Structure 1
Amino acid sequence: MEHEGQVWLITGTSSGFGRRLVDAVLERGDRVIATARSLDKLKDLETKGESSQLRCLPLDVTSDYDEIKSRIDDAVAVFGRIDVLVNNAGFAMPGLLEEAGVDGAMQQFDTNYFGVVRVTTAVLPHMRERASGTVVIVGSRSAWKANIPDSHGGALGNYAASKAAVHAYGETLAAEVAPFSIKVLIVAPGLFRTEGIHAAPPYPGRLIAAYNSLRDVMLGRFATLRARTRGDIGDPRKAMSVVVDVVKGQGNAKTKKWPLFLVIGEDAEEDIRKYGETITGIMEEWGEVTRDTRMEG
């Protein structure tokens, strides 16, 4: 008899949101294929569930597509299907844009954007064949808060750009796969207390003397963030429980319509509302200029 629960494939489960999501899914009785670049980082996960409920597989989202496709085919063979794909693997590499340069941007996008594209492209044929599935993309409120040097986050311009790109990818994907009964959920969390919170070192690019003061401020802000444990820092366990609620239509999500975007965290809500107000204000002030571009005649 087929297991009645869903089968989740989650990338980036060695720590952070991914690790908490594995726990949340297992607690609901569903099955999980947990992936990470190295199985060594998943050894402790294997004690969290029965072999019939949890499997750990290696998956580096920056590998070439053929290798990723082979890994996904192996994952499908474990439980016979993938009902929910969670593109969680990602990282935030601080660095001022000019100093990080093209190489820094490419490194950030290779994981955060192209990693999502590679894995999703490999999974979609299996979902289309069954005319069922959910693709979850873990984005960020930073997509709406890219003026980071002026905020509490530090210089994360390439990170914000990669998340804005993956949001746009998810919006388009949602429209394209809807005819196959496949849903897309873009998760936009704020600041949460995870092991890797802003832990990546600055991109080791060239240092430009003109940015010395701004760089010092940025590094100081990251140090402050890493030291914070309470206050406006969100609980990642609660965040991932909300994600499971939405995917499964349980809890507070039971009576609500499917959201394309799932904003998580009071700080994320505040930042996104402010962004909307800013855009609305610009359109109101500059609307006459915006509209004064029609063809005559």
Structure 2
Amino acid sequence: MLCSTCRLRPPVTDDGHCLLCAGPAGPVPAPMPPAPAFFAPQQYLRSPEGLAKAVVVLLAVMIGADLLAVAAGLNTHRVLAAGVANDFAAYDEEAANLADNLYGATSWLQSFVGLAIAVVFIIWFRRVRLNAEVFDPSMQSMRPGWAVGAWFIPIAGWVLPRRIAGGIWTASAQTSTDGSRRTVPATVMNLWWGAWVCSQVLSQFTARRYWAAAQPQEILDTTVLLVATDAVDIVAAVFAILFVRRLTRMQGERAALGVYPPSTPGLPERAPWGRAH
């Protein structure tokens, strides 16, 4: 059905006229309702300090679990080496079972703590990414959702999170009151990322070797790789602690300075650190 006068537009009045033909007295369409808040960019800061402390504690626990795994791995290697040396003529089966059980227990501990770290770290990572959007969105090459999704993409998960972290790092660098930026060396971030990637690659390589090992000497060689993997994981955890602490402190300093890009027109002003609208 079209307007009874112009026959071009749909009618909006009871007598069949469109908005233009009805004149000033015609009804005005109601404005569109505002978009839900979760579609709008974050316009406030939220402190990542609590999450950062949780991540650091879990990483410290992981370091302890890795140290236990190194000790258990060396013990397993010692028992196996003694058996290989005399062609298992005087093999202590009880000691071997104990060594295997100890290493299995440390592996379960590592898996449990690693899962907890993954969950809490990604939540912290998303928090600092959203804060970086407030500090300076021009420095963010990927949308905030990628702070979570990028970790789950095969192969690309070894590259994209570092790209996101770089944008967060740059946006979180302390600025002067005149708006000039201070460059903060990214050495800690690069060391953390390099150690983490090495840990992941070595872990996958060792896992394949472990499940493919059939001969006693192959199993013995694999235990050396397992110990090396745990050692690299300790290094990665140490650098991760330094990275989390440094970036969290940078965001606190940046928030205290209170120098942000202008707010987007039509959106509420940004609230102080730790408060939300």
* TM-score band w.r.t. shorter chain: under 0.3
Please give the TM-score of this superposition, normalised by the length of structure 1: 0.23
Higher relative contact order (CA 8 A, sep 6+): 2
Please give the TM-score of this superposition, normalised by the length of structure 2: 0.25
Q: Which has the larger radius of gyration?
A: 2
Counting helix residues as a fraction of each chain, which structure ranks higher?
2
Counting strand residues as a fraction of each chain, which structure ranks higher?
1
